[in-house]
Amino acid sequence: MPKRPNDLRERLSPAAVVFALLVLATLAAFAYSQRVKRDPLVLDKVSFVGAPVLEPKDPVHPFTPNGDCVYDRVRIRFRTTISDDGMVQVIKPGGRVVVTLDRGTFLKRYSFHTYYWDGRQRGGGTARPGRYKLRVKLGSERTLVTPGVIRLHRSSEKAKSRC
């Protein structure tokens, strides 16, 4: 009986083709993730510190905009590793914009940028107590949300003004 010629279609089953494609996709994803790990951070050295309006003291982390001029605002400080035009916003963790601190400003690479937020919302009034995040949009292609949170605390009673 004569031997049948080897047909490629008979040797490759659909399961083998799917398996080979999955292996190739896994290798490509691994190579891409290794490349991304080597890239430097675009936004680093981020800090949120309660800043007193009067009597500068050692910085603390509570932020209570209650009108007593002690820790009524928070200092937001970060460094960018690339230069680009940017927009700096305070957002709720869900992504809703609370206030825009700066729009269309040039953020120079390897320099620190400092902003102060007094707890006000963009429509007026004080923001609710809770956790807020910082979002920096660089150019038209990058939107960066910092890992830390800004904690806005409300004091139980209106403090006497020391301003």
Give the gyration radius of the chain's Cα atoms: 26
Residue 64, pLDDT score: 76
Q: Please tell me whether residues 58 and 104 are part of one structural domain.
A: yes
| pLDDT exceeds 60 at position 92 | yes
Residue 3, pLDDT score: 59
Q: 105-125, pLDDT tens digit by residue?
A: 999 988 999 999 988 898 888
What is the number of domains present in the chain? 2
d(CA 11, CA 160): 84
Q: Please tell me whether residues 34 and 56 are part of one structural domain.
A: no
Q: Please tell me whether residues 71 and 119 are part of one structural domain.
A: yes
In a domain, 17, yes or no: yes
**Considering the chain, what percentage of its residues have pLDDT values greater than 70?**
79
Q: Which domain holds residue 147?
A: 43-152
In a domain, 20, yes or no: yes
Please name the residue that has the structure tokens 């007593």.
68
Q: 67-84, pLDDT tens digit by residue?
A: 777 778 888 999 988 899
In a domain, 160, yes or no: no
Q: Please tell me whether residues 30 and 54 are part of one structural domain.
A: no
Burial of 39 (0-12, 13-18, 19+ CB in 10 A): exposed
